[in-house]
Amino acid sequence: MVRSSGSYYSALKRITRAANSAYGLRKTCNFIAKNSARAMKANGCRILSLNPRREYLISVGTYGLSDLYLKKGPLDARRSLPDILEGKAVYIADATRDDRVQHPEVALEQGISSILGVPILRMGEAIGEIRIYARERRQFSEAERNFLFSVADVCSVVFERAELQQSLDGDREARARQRRPSPVSAVPVPTLRPATFAHPSEEDFARLLDFYCIEWLYEPRSFALRWEGGKIAEMFTPDFYLPELDIYVELTTLKQNLITEKNRKLRQLRELYPEVNVRLLTKSDFHKLLAKYGYGPLGEAKVEGVDRVLYSHAQIQRRVRTLARRISRDYGDERLVLIGVLKGVLCFMADLMQHLSLPVTVDFMAVSHYGGDGQVVRITRDLDSSIAGKHVLMVEDIVDTGMTLNYILGHLSAHNPASLRVCTLLDKRARRLLDLPLDYVGFEIPDEFVVGYGLDYKGEYRNLPFIGVLKPGLVKNEEPR
Ligand code: PRP
């Protein structure tokens, strides 16, 4: 049915009024989506924003689409209607058979046939998209396309206003994202807070990921776990997806009895989707993570001293000599550049280099530490000499979550070394978030807070000649696991 231009005008009037209201971003976009779909006699609408690296499309407003459809998985911007990135409209007649649709099976299940998408532009470059969905197979008229392009222009202004508001509100995350340069375009891409977090710990975790420049998407996919009579009876939606690392992370702030239920779902998810990599961070895992940076309830606890020695000075020395022998044998006559990240590595580096029987040079880097203040990780001291074409061994005192190592390895490989390996004295594998290959490991240690032999707690304890575990007083606020 062809609508009169008057009905598009009325819809546009409602939309511009909402855009100029005091509504928040999500409410405004949901309103725009609803009025756009209704004006075009369509079944659904979705407003998406490109993430700062222009790789993924993130939902900021929807109408008429099921949760299953909305959380069908991360939307890769280059695969998903790539013409949008070029600033062109895209029309799909049959979503269940079109190669450009990333999840045709969900479109089929949801009964979606035709899709019209138009770019949301800022200074001529795509920063997002508005999509209209129809159950029946249909064409879209010239008037409908023009209407949708006008709505997209309104969305662009809505995005800009929300960004301004977020930065005026002192949104640390938004500011951090603004500082991050886009590798593709000079046009600033949206720095909108992409999610309304269900829990403050999720926001803290997002900040920590932002600090280490680890890209994340919030709840992009729901996994069906149980079906009854052909219908989905149970689903599970992990909190975060880290696309570069292909890991889903579920944070839980629940008590132990509820964690048991969550563990059951995770086990089921792993059985049904063996290709999916998913990690659970419990409340105590998460508090330990924040405590490491001196934040959160544990970080504020009073340090009461060392509880017990984990590795004596003699044990450390024996292990360091074994590692040095292995490294010397593996590199043979090659020259090697040892790179350490200050400060924790100082004791280990000093001992290790003395036992290497090959020509080595040594260099150090330093990175800024997480302060929960919206900054992103920075290299505060870079290498003195070029490593291009050289064999490099990155030396660490401890690999915990792997976020520091991930960042440093990314930086070093960009300088084209001939080879790049990792040697760490301690491997706290139980807490690993990002799994990176470690070539030489001194000790795999339990999930306890360790200090000494270079490792600190709030700047102290580095001078202990052994590696010790901090007294449980540090973890006294913790709930039993
Ligand atoms: C330690 C260590 C690693 C990092 C590992 O440094 O030296 O660089 O933590 O942790 P991750 O795997 O969770 O990223 P820290 O931040 O304590 O600074 P420091 O070396 O100055 O003590």
Residue with tokens 């779902």: 265
Q: How far apart are the CA of 209 and the centre of ligand 1, in A?
A: 15
Cβ–Cβ < 8 Å for 468, 451: yes
| Pocket flag, ligand 1, residue 369 (CB < 6 Å) | yes
Asked if the model's pLDDT at residue 29 lies above 80, the reply is yes
Instruction: Provide the pLDDT for residue 187.
Output: 46
Report the pLDDT averaged over residues 65-76.
Answer: 82
Rounded-to-integer distance, Cα 296 and Cα 229, Å: 46
Percent of the chain with pLDDT strictly greater than 90: 47
Give the residue range(s) of CATH 3.30.450.40 domains in the chain: 5-164
* Phi (first) and psi of residue 78, to 5 degrees: -75, -30
396 lines ligand 1 (CB under 6 A): yes
Among 317-331, 351-365, 456-470, the range scoring the smallest mean pLDDT is 456-470
Alpha carbon distance 274, 296 (integer Å): 34
More confident residue, 174 or 326: 326
pLDDT confidence of residue 303: 44
444 and 433 Cβ atoms separated by less than 8 Å: no
Look at residue 376 in the predicted model and tell me its pLDDT. 79
Cα 191 off chain centre by: 15
Residue 343 Cβ inside 6 Å of ligand 1? The answer reads: yes
Residue 94 Cα to ligand 1 middle (Å): 51
* pLDDT reading at 71 higher than 50: yes
User: What is the rounded average pLDDT of the residues 422-431?
Assistant: 95
pLDDT at 114: 94
Q: Does residue 411 or residue 58 have the better pLDDT? A: 411
Residue 283 to residue 246: CA distance in whole angstroms? 23
Return the ligand 1 atom nearest residue 455 CA: 22
Portion of the chain with pLDDT greater than 70, in percent: 86
Catalytic residues: 400
The DSSP output letter for 3 is: P
Instruction: Write down the pLDDT at residue 220.
Output: 87
CB 177 within 8 A of CB 188: no
pLDDT in tens, 356-387: 999 999 999 999 877 766 677 889 999 999 99
Residue 63 in contact with residue 140, Cβ under 8 Å? no
Ligand 1 atom closest to the CA of 369, numbered from 1: 16
Residues in CB range of 83: below 8 A, 6 or more apart:
89, 90
So what's the pLDDT on residue 184? 37
Q: 308-470 — its CATH code?
A: 3.40.50.2020
Tell me where in the chain the CATH 3.40.960 domain(s) lie.
Answer: 200-302
pLDDT at 446 over 80: yes
Tell me if the bond preceding 458 is cis, omega within 30° of 0.
Answer: no
Question: Does residue 282 line the site of ligand 1, with CB under 6 A?
Answer: no
- Regarding the beta carbon of 71 and ligand 1, being less than 6 Å apart is answered no
Nearest-CA residue for ligand 1 atom 8 is: 404
- Pick the range with the lowest mean pLDDT from 63-72, 207-216, 322-331, 335-344: 207-216
Q: Which of 214, 197, 243, 222 is nearest to 55 (CA)?
A: 243
Confidence of residue 294 (pLDDT cuts 50, 70, 90): low
Give the Cβ contact number of residue 109 at 10 Å. Answer: 15
pLDDT of residue 79: 72
Mutate to test the pocket of ligand 1, among 395, 397, 432 (most ligand atoms within 8 A of CB): 397
pLDDT at 40: 94
376 Cα–ligand 1 center, Å: 15
Q: Which CATH class is domain 200-302?
A: alpha beta
CA-closest residue to ligand 1 atom 9 = 398
pLDDT value at 1 more than 60? no
**Mean pLDDT in the chain?**
84
Q: Is the pLDDT of residue 151 over 90?
A: yes
Query: Which amino acid does the sequence have at 319?
Result: R
The rounded distance, in Å, linking the Cα atoms of 127 and 120 is 6
What is the reported pTM? 0.66
Cite the residue boundaries of each domain of the chain with CATH code 3.40.50.2020: 308-470
Instruction: Supply the residue whose CA is at minimum distance from atom 22 of ligand 1.
Output: 344
What pLDDT score does 296 carry?
61
Residue 58 forms beta bridges with which residues? Answer: 49
Terminal-to-terminal C-alpha distance of the chain: 61
**pLDDT exceeds 90 at position 21:** no
Residue 185: predicted pLDDT:
40
Which option is the CATH number for 5-164: 3.40.30.10, 3.10.20.30, 3.30.450.40, 1.10.287.890? 3.30.450.40
